[in-house]
Amino acid sequence: LEEGLIFELGQPGRLGVDLPDAPQAPNRLGGLARRGGIGLPDLAEPQVVRHFTRLSQKNYGIDSGFFPLGSCTMKHNPRLNERMARLPGFSDVHPLQPISTVQGALELIDTLAHWLKTLTGMPAVAMSPAAGAHGEFCGMVAIKAALAARGESHRTRVLVPESAHGTNPATAAAIGFTVDPIPATTEGRVDLDAFKAKLGPDVAAIMLTNPNTCGLFERDIREIADAIHGAGGYFYCDGANFNAIVGRVRPADLGVDCMHINLHKTFSTPHGGGGPGSGPVVLSDALAPFAPLPWVVNQNGSYAVLEQAKAEAAQSFGRLKAFHGQMGMFVRALAYMLSHGADGLWQVSSDAVLNANYILASLKDVFSAPFEGPCMHEVLFNDDFLKDTGVSTLDFAKALIDEGYHPMTMYFPLVVHGAMLIEPTETEDKATLDQFIAVMRSLADKAKAGTAEAFHAAPRLTPRRRLDETLAARKPILRWVAPELAQAAE
Amino acid sequence: LEEGLIFELGQPGRLGVDLPDAPQAPNRLGGLARRGGIGLPDLAEPQVVRHFTRLSQKNYGIDSGFFPLGSCTMKHNPRLNERMARLPGFSDVHPLQPISTVQGALELIDTLAHWLKTLTGMPAVAMSPAAGAHGEFCGMVAIKAALAARGESHRTRVLVPESAHGTNPATAAAIGFTVDPIPATTEGRVDLDAFKAKLGPDVAAIMLTNPNTCGLFERDIREIADAIHGAGGYFYCDGANFNAIVGRVRPADLGVDCMHINLHKTFSTPHGGGGPGSGPVVLSDALAPFAPLPWVVNQNGSYAVLEQAKAEAAQSFGRLKAFHGQMGMFVRALAYMLSHGADGLWQVSSDAVLNANYILASLKDVFSAPFEGPCMHEVLFNDDFLKDTGVSTLDFAKALIDEGYHPMTMYFPLVVHGAMLIEPTETEDKATLDQFIAVMRSLADKAKAGTAEAFHAAPRLTPRRRLDETLAARKPILRWVAPELAQAAE
Amino acid sequence: MRYLPLTEADRRAMLATIGAPSVDALFKDVPAAAVRRAPVDLPHHAGELSVERQLKAMAGKNLVAGEVPFFVGAGAYRHHVPASVDYIIQRGEFLTAYTPYQPEIAQGTLQYLFEFQTQVAMLTGMEVANASMYDGSTACVEAVVMATRVTKRKKAILSGGLHPHYAEIAATHAAYGDFTLDSAAADPEGLEDLASRIDDQTACVVVQNPSVFGHIRDLTPLANAAHAKGALLVVVVTEAVSLGALMPPGAMGADIVVAEGQSIGSGLNFGGPYVGLFATREKYMRQMPGRLCGETVDADGKRGWVLTLSTREQHIRREKATSNICTNAGLCALAFTVHLSLLGETGFTQLAALNHAKTSQLVEKLKAVPGVRVLNEAFFNEVTLVLPKDASAVVEALAQKRILAGVPAARLWPDHSDLKNHLLVAVTETVTDEDMDALVAGLKEVLA
Amino acid sequence: MRYLPLTEADRRAMLATIGAPSVDALFKDVPAAAVRRAPVDLPHHAGELSVERQLKAMAGKNLVAGEVPFFVGAGAYRHHVPASVDYIIQRGEFLTAYTPYQPEIAQGTLQYLFEFQTQVAMLTGMEVANASMYDGSTACVEAVVMATRVTKRKKAILSGGLHPHYAEIAATHAAYGDFTLDSAAADPEGLEDLASRIDDQTACVVVQNPSVFGHIRDLTPLANAAHAKGALLVVVVTEAVSLGALMPPGAMGADIVVAEGQSIGSGLNFGGPYVGLFATREKYMRQMPGRLCGETVDADGKRGWVLTLSTREQHIRREKATSNICTNAGLCALAFTVHLSLLGETGFTQLAALNHAKTSQLVEKLKAVPGVRVLNEAFFNEVTLVLPKDASAVVEALAQKRILAGVPAARLWPDHSDLKNHLLVAVTETVTDEDMDALVAGLKEVLA
């Protein structure tokens, strides 16, 4: 049975909710009442529940199986966190209630901030960014504000390694910086000499992911930090890969000035098919005064919120998002942190790195690893091993789907050809890795045996086979239109 | 990927829970501490969640699609009911807390009792039975107690129609009654003359399902009631099919003395893969004094619980179940009742009957209906239409699975050959019925076209194909045994 | 109405197909005198918001266990159930499924039932277990009935340490069924001698461990005595967590073990739904009540599971069935299996040890309360106190101070005046040191 | 630790395979100075029970909206969300999925995003919508940036009826980005004239409807004025339910509509996560920020969905992307879609009508409070009151009486002394007659 669109299932005269009658009261819409219908379908509750249940059954999540999507940290999402986020004391509280009535909510934010600062060794944290890219924006604006405060607004060049996430250059550009790429060494790390050669009086910052997107720790990070500081710039660290070092290494000890933290990666708030995320940004002393509003401040055990660029917050660069940030995500992340504790988080990064290296060690004789290990929490292969097989990285990934796995990240980072980036995370057990390794080896054998056709045809066992993305982009259909209207329009 | 048994996934040294250290305190187990291991597997939480998620994906529920299982009333299970049952004021209250601290819980029981009594027109209800069959036991014991109180314990014969649920004779037998079957007419109803002929001074009761298991209303029910009463017996009504008449017909007006109500059928508490259920029993004035303990009594707005056969409850036949009954189910059922209200329940039975008759009308030219309509909430076909096709009712049902449906009830009731009993319920829409009708017709065409082989091979698209039930019964394996132990045992 | 998808237009079209003038016409077989013209006298339909308000108002009148120091047990125990358990049992594929009579699309239910049966057998130390019963109390009487069937004898001896509700249920079945009871007097000291009551008419001896008063005993001598006379030993467990710390009934010679499984996976729920565990020896397998899930293979030779040995059951066997039982406690069994899978061997034994240690800790603390005597020498997580005053009044007084101190024995044995000062006190992992101190302080105050 | 499945034995075996002596050795690329020898100074791991206790203690210090008469709005609204919405979004297949970059195993996410986009387009009266933004406030500034891109102009005019947080965010982006703002003064009376500010440097006019003060206006004249100068009209909606009662922005000439979708499907959550709606005309489709889901066919010719037009996005386009946005608000978008599907055309318009009628009812009741003036002539479900006293003090006094009376304008415009007596009051379907009476009585008392 195919599942139609919700609009195709509706029929006027049904109700999926029961509402009380409206009281008699004057209409005060001032003549601006809606005329004509909206076009929404009418359904009863059983139909709606079944529709979305069936849709869910066409999805693959961490709960469904192994999800080794590199750079995305698809780790287990504890249900305790969901339960905690639904405590009415958090979920049913308005952001503009009197401050006296939300002391517990502010305490939670302050407690989470304390954990983030302690884990990173940084003195301050901006809580309001809604996601990683928003955190990047926050950090880069703080840098721009700090430069302005120093009277160095002429510093507009930002150095970004070629292997960076796309959000890095996009963010820098959005704030009016120019992006200057730094090449990588053959070892998959920043080319220190090339980097130093690019330093100059117009350099604002370097944006560096560490561990980097090749899954490698930037060995020269202290030297990079010193150099950028020496050149008068700031060190923005992309914290997407914090999971690899959380609890074991503090970014402050690496010399960073600011770093965003994807709560939905390292701290396990669910990805939810694309969000919501949360991207707090830790800041050094140099950048802290410019942190966005609002600031939560603990005043002798009672909490206040600074919402204006005045007093302590006089240098704040302003507001980034309405209200206080992604509270629901804060609760989940703190529940996760309290559950693991300092000792557990140490073990998180240990096991994440161990799992990735185990995959590297178990596959490197068959797959082609462009860089030497040890890797950190993820392992990168290129498509050399597929040379002359007629099988592409994409084909290989789609064949994995038929084996019951979510594919690894493909074609990222851009610095290696046909990249396959595998991140097992610490919440997978050895048996799962062993099974995955066996499947990977067997698929590689098949590819080399000249069965390209079978790979091209994959996946076969999914709700849909390969989808025509070109058609979608060439003739975009972004919404459903009632057939009678669609016809009339033609 | 096949999902192993949980025992096959474990490995010593993991933990799926974190517990605090035990306090220092003397061991007071008196030398009776467990020696040796239990054999349970150790897993971490991510593995457990994934394991049971994967198992769930091998199941079909109402949320998955149409579930026309006759006699089982597989209607929509609202999530509101689940939410209400989880209110701490209901879910986190102990049955033996002081009565002063559970007034709300008792109010809920009393309110539900009021709804059940009003909907059935009966003066009393016993709330404690844990399920339908337990309710039957309760009702029949009340009858036995009433007979004893009348000094008529010699009445030991119970009349049960051949079409009855198996629980009816099993229950009667468990209480020491003898079961005397009543034949059916060619119209699928109790043979009134045969029934009357069986009446006599040793008759204790009739157990009659109404609407009966052929989906028909027993037209002569008032006459049956009068006759059994005239003969000094009681009228036990099996209320499994109450969904067909709820809100429109009160069993009291049909002359019944007692009737159990499956809250998981008519009132939508979830079936849960086989329970828990709840089977309150409404009782006539004649039987009410014998109702089981405990009794919840409203004393000027405060609630008391009678737990002994004393005072008002002096004639109670005693206790049936620990504590107060299936409270969690009570909350769900009351949430459902309050949601529908008297007007909604009227519509429930109207739509349930309408849906069934629509299927009957739409299939009767192709399928063989042994009895004339109108039917009530379910429609019965026999296998005449499959004659000489080589396709059995079972084959036909399994073929439906591959079309995306849960099969109808098969081979029940026993009074027709190769029975197919279809109950759509009121929570299905017309489009779903139309689609089902089309599939049914198409399968019937295929069967008649001589494609028996394909039917024998069904289902093909399921997690498992047809399972060998004979093997399971011949060499029962009822538990997992560690391979090394199993080997040692051989 | 939100659960009803038919529109008025649908209804008209469907009636036309049927050829009926109205829905009323479809009810033509209902005797005229019973045909209602209007809905019954109850409130009309209401939205979610309204229903929530009404039910929350009722819920709000109860004192929630988790909000107060809490020591109530006597057959139902407040343990912490992990959030993932509740998530799993709410998944529609489990929640809205039927009994797995169509195994091809019910392997999920069947596999967890097989896992459940295995877990129950392991915990109890027995060979086989069924797919769950309503609860411990009804499982207990089913065990008695089964024992009469196995032994073809008609008398059951009930221990004075058996939960009174369980004993009362057995008495109901005895009064209206086909066996008799020999019930020992309440046994607060845990010193009763049941062996001497066993004779060659005895089908079984039913004994609870820990007893309702909290005593634990080695049942091996009783098992030997029963077996010597051809009787069965039925062991009842109302606190399943105790099986993580104590010698299992199977190791002490039990023939049938029944238990209340609520402690693992289910909340207190004011008494239900809970889940009954039922285990026995392999040789009695075909005499068991309730559903059984068995392993088999499918048409392709793959391992799978089905309901099996259903010739014991009512839907096949009708009046000759081993029980009239039909429903089990599927979803609570699932909760049990998920919770126990999370606990594992390590967690479950740790949990049991923690329960015991905390109880022992409270017993030590209670020494500070003048006039209070603990009756138990050996116990698991529940003990019986003798107070210098009427225990019901003490419990009520403490409830007013928002302390739920336990179950006064008089609640369970209202007619036993010699038990009126007895109080059953249970301690689980959810009890904090502060809770214990509050109880001790409260008792001192109320008893002063 | 319950989330970590590796055993010590596993770790040893894996290190042996790797050929590393220890896990520490795998961290050899970390500069020695940054290598920690021990965990940081934070508490160690804790079980569920302990974590629950800690978080419940914090939650318990907040005054829960649902427990009191509640009139707080100003950009976040307390509506009733059906239980089935929360059930659906908790299903692991949705909750634990990633962004649907692998469409073959993400058709569930993709189909609901397509449904979401359609619903948003329908509600706003626009042609196309994206797959959601972080929230309304960030969507607003993205609209401004897009308008500058479309018009190649650099100035945005902001209405004085725009939520101050939204305006402040735009100001941040303006200060550090590539456009300027012309911001009108706060407009409590709803009488501002923006048309006269539009010139041929104007990229867009940003106006909120209903305004933050609750006023509703016909925006057609403003749209015409903008279009006459080649500028776009950006309409902001912070109360999505209003779209069920009011003429949609698309019908009044909006070029871009952004909205806070929290009212449909999401709780208050102390401000987040919420869901931003973003809709525009088809001709601007390729200038939109954020993800888009599009229809296509698979290798077998079956209809299916994919993420599309991703050449706009950062992961392809990098520094030339239309936005740096990566994450959207997937799960909140799902909640929106499920809730709106339950409501349907009938329910959604009824809900909007109910909100308005209740608000109008409160306005009538407020006439009984001496000294209180309602500023709004036309409104949806929120109005601005002028009190005879400092509104912040009144709100605080009422909060002490457990009435949450609304948002004092001073909370949003701390520097505007002429707004210090202004109070924003919102009414939804969750407000009862008793709640209104409590507010009226409370106001009388506090103002007396």
- The answer on pLDDT for B104 being more than 70 is yes
For residue D35, give the nearest of C443, B390, A253, B387 by alpha carbon: A253
- The answer on pLDDT for A415 being more than 90 is no
Determine how β-strand D202-208 pairs with β-strand D232-237.
Answer: parallel
CA–CA gap between residue D2 and residue A90 (Å, rounded): 25
Asked if A15's CB is within 8 angstroms of D344's CB, the reply is yes
For residue A32, give the nearest of D211, D167, D227, D224 by alpha carbon: D211
- The answer on pLDDT for C80 being more than 80 is yes
For residue A406, give the nearest of A23, A61, A7, A20 by alpha carbon: A61
- The answer on pLDDT for C191 being more than 70 is yes
Residue C4 with chain B: CB contacts under 8 Å: 344, 347-348, 351, 426-427
Neighbours of chain B (3+ CB pairs under 8 A): A, C, D
**Model confidence over A154-163: pLDDT tens digits?**
999 999 998 8
Asked if C46's CB is within 8 angstroms of B338's CB, the reply is yes
**Model confidence over C258-271: pLDDT tens digits?**
999 999 999 999 99
Token pair belonging to A115: 């954990």
Asked if D136's CB is within 8 angstroms of A273's CB, the reply is no
> Residue C216: its pLDDT value, please?
97
Q: How far is CA B53 from the centre of its chain?
A: 26
**Model confidence over D382-413: pLDDT tens digits?**
999 999 999 999 999 999 999 999 999 999 99
> If pLDDT is split at 50, 70 and 90, which confidence band does C246 have?
very high
- The answer on pLDDT for C243 being more than 90 is yes
Residue A78 with chain C: CB contacts under 8 Å: 83-84
Instruction: Identify which of B84, B326, B358 has the shortest CB distance to residue C273.
Output: B326
- pLDDT more than 90, % of chain D: 95
> If pLDDT is split at 50, 70 and 90, which confidence band does C311 have?
confident
- Token pair 């629980």 in the structure block, residue: B167
Q: Radius of gyration (Cα) for chain C, nearest Å?
A: 25
Contact A218, A190 (CB under 8 A): yes
- The answer on pLDDT for A489 being more than 70 is no
Query: In this complex, is the C-beta atom of B404 within 8 Å of any C-beta atom belonging to chain A?
Result: yes
* Residue D234 Cα, gap to closest chain C Cα (Å): 35
**Model confidence over D26-43: pLDDT tens digits?**
999 999 999 999 999 999
Q: How far is CA B284 from the centre of its chain?
A: 22
**Which of D28, D30, D262, D404 best probes binding to A when mutated, by most A CB atoms within 10 angstroms?**
D30
- The answer on pLDDT for A487 being more than 80 is no
Contact C170, C184 (CB under 8 A): no
- Across chain A, mean pLDDT equals 95
- Token pair 């009695």 in the structure block, residue: C284
Residue C404 with chain B: CB contacts under 8 Å: 94, 97-98, 101
**Model confidence over D129-160: pLDDT tens digits?**
999 999 999 999 999 999 999 999 999 999 99
Residue of C nearest to D1 (CA): C347
Cis ω for the linkage preceding D248 (within 30 of 0): no
Query: In this complex, is the C-beta atom of A17 within 8 Å of any C-beta atom belonging to chain D?
Result: yes
> If pLDDT is split at 50, 70 and 90, which confidence band does C322 have?
confident
Query: In this complex, is the C-beta atom of B485 within 8 Å of any C-beta atom belonging to chain C?
Result: no
> Residue B414: its pLDDT value, please?
86
**Model confidence over B34-52: pLDDT tens digits?**
999 999 999 999 999 999 9
- The answer on pLDDT for A2 being more than 90 is no
Residue C5 with chain D: CB contacts under 8 Å: none
Contact B170, C311 (CB under 8 A): no
CA–CA gap between residue B99 and residue B79 (Å, rounded): 30
Q: Is D443 left (phi over 0), alpha (psi -120 to 50) or beta?
A: alpha
> Residue B490: its pLDDT value, please?
58
A185-214 residues touching D, CB cutoff 8 A = none
> Residue D315: its pLDDT value, please?
72
State the Cα angle at A344 between A338 and A345, rounded to 5°.
Answer: 85
> Residue A301: its pLDDT value, please?
85
First to last CA, chain A: 30
For residue D354, give the nearest of D217, D218, D242, D210 by alpha carbon: D242
- The answer on pLDDT for D3 being more than 80 is yes
Residue D9 with chain B: CB contacts under 8 Å: 11, 13
What is the residue type of D270?
F
**Model confidence over A320-339: pLDDT tens digits?**
999 999 999 999 999 999 99
> If pLDDT is split at 50, 70 and 90, which confidence band does A490 have?
low
> Residue B489: its pLDDT value, please?
65
- Domains located in chain C, CATH noted: 8-60 (no CATH), 83-335 (3.40.640.10), 340-447 (3.90.1150.10)
> If pLDDT is split at 50, 70 and 90, which confidence band does A414 have?
confident
CA–CA gap between residue D160 and residue D208 (Å, rounded): 9
**Model confidence over C390-409: pLDDT tens digits?**
999 999 999 999 999 999 99
- The answer on pLDDT for C342 being more than 70 is yes
- pLDDT more than 70, % of chain C: 100
Residue C87 with chain A: CB contacts under 8 Å: 79, 82
> If pLDDT is split at 50, 70 and 90, which confidence band does C327 have?
confident
pTM passes above 0.90: yes
Query: In this complex, is the C-beta atom of A173 within 8 Å of any C-beta atom belonging to chain C?
Result: no
Instruction: Identify which of C100, C298, C353 has the shortest CB distance to residue B274.
Output: C100
* Residue C116 Cα, gap to closest chain B Cα (Å): 9
Residue C415 with chain B: CB contacts under 8 Å: 308
Residue A131 with chain D: CB contacts under 8 Å: 134, 325-327
**Model confidence over C204-216: pLDDT tens digits?**
999 999 999 999 9
Interface contacts (C, D; CB < 8 Å): 24
Asked if A63's CB is within 8 angstroms of B429's CB, the reply is no
Asked if A18's CB is within 8 angstroms of C46's CB, the reply is yes
Asked if C83's CB is within 8 angstroms of D342's CB, the reply is no
- Across chain C, mean pLDDT equals 96
Residue A98 with chain D: CB contacts under 8 Å: 395-396, 399, 404
Asked if B12's CB is within 8 angstroms of D45's CB, the reply is no
Query: In this complex, is the C-beta atom of A87 within 8 Å of any C-beta atom belonging to chain C?
Result: no
Residue of D nearest to A459 (CA): D104
Residue A339 with chain B: CB contacts under 8 Å: 18
- pLDDT more than 70, % of chain B: 100
> Residue B438: its pLDDT value, please?
97
**Model confidence over A240-252: pLDDT tens digits?**
999 999 999 999 9
Interface contacts (A, D; CB < 8 Å): 724
What is this model's ipTM?
0.97
**Model confidence over B237-259: pLDDT tens digits?**
999 999 999 999 999 999 999 99
Dihedral angle sign, alpha carbons of residues A341, A346, A347, A353: positive
Give the DSSP H or E segment for B420: strand B420-422
Instruction: Collect all residues with Cβ–Cβ distance below 8 Å to B122 and sequence separation of at least 6.
Output: B116, B251, B252, B256, B258, B259, B282, B283, B284
> Residue C317: its pLDDT value, please?
73
